[in-house]
Amino acid sequence: MLSFTELIQQAKVKLAQRDADPLRDKVAAAVRGMHEVSTHALLDLIGLPNTTGNARRIVPSMRALGFVPIKSRRLMPGGWRDTATRGWARPFRDVAR
């Protein structure tokens, strides 16, 4: 059984994590089991409008989850030549930081 002060400390830690990245839980739930996803589709999955500002808001969450930004034709249905889109992918090997 935890003491009252330990419970307060745990609550402070949880609150700080939520305030630091409020979309992380939604983004993590949306990309669970995915290897790549377009930014447009991800914003649709978490229920945000498709704007540049919202795309920038999900960047810290995606990087923290191990995704890297990409530009690909493969993420667009029937994508070919000039139909490139931006999105996120999990690397197959470790990324040097």
pLDDT digits (tens, 9 = 90+) for 7-41: 999 999 988 877 777 888 899 999 999 998 989 99
Domain ranges of the chain: 21-89
| 92 or 79, higher pLDDT | 92
pLDDT in tens, 29-38: 999 999 989 8
Q: Tokens 């996803």, residue? A: 37
In percent, how much of the chain has pLDDT > 70?
85
Predicted model pTM: 0.70
When pLDDT is cut at 50, 70 and 90, the band that residue 80 belongs to is: low
Q: Note the CATH architecture for domain 21-89.
A: Orthogonal Bundle (1.10)
* Integer Cα distance of 38 and 56 in angstroms: 13
Residue 52, token pair as written in the block: 């540049």
Neighbouring residues of 64: CB distance < 8 A, sequence distance ≥ 6: 21, 24
* Integer Cα distance of 27 and 4 in angstroms: 32
